[in-house]
Amino acid sequence: MPISTAEVEHVALLARLKLSPEEKVAYTEQLNAILEYMDKLNALDTTDVEPTAHVLPLRNVFRDDVARPGLPRERALAGAPAASEGQFKVPRVV
């Protein structure tokens, strides 16, 4: 089922994006091309394919999580544009 320009406009509204008419047409075409490709993939027989989380065999390469002293508060706040009572002061978000 193809995506309509109205659906692209709706998603843009939800994402608070202002799209030009040319961008709306371009995104509609691009999303429809993606959906067409997904239909081709859905047509493949995958009954003998094992589910995978990743195509390559990966292992965890992260270091062990070890507690260590953190950055002193004064040093952390030194580059802050504003601080109050030992905390970052930011504009109110409503």
CATH assignment of the domain containing 1: 1.10.20.60
Phi, psi (deg, nearest 5) at residue 86: 75, 15
Count: domains in the chain: 1
Residue showing tokens 């065999």 = 57
What is the model's pTM? 0.52
The pLDDT value given to residue 49: 86
Q: Which residue range forms the structural domain that includes residue 31?
A: 1-41
Per-residue pLDDT of the chain (94 residues; tens, 9 = 90+): 799 999 999 999 999 999 999 999 999 999 999 999 999 989 999 899 888 888 888 787 788 889 999 999 999 999 899 999 999 999 989 8
The pLDDT value given to residue 30: 97
CA distance 86 to 82: 10
With both helix axes pointing from N to C terminus, report the angle between 5-14 and 21-42 in degrees, rounded to the nearest 10: 110
Residue 92 lies in a domain: no
Residue 11 lies in a domain: yes
3-state DSSP call for residue 40?
helix
CA distances from 39 to 1, 33, 34, 36, 66 (A): 10, 10, 9, 5, 47
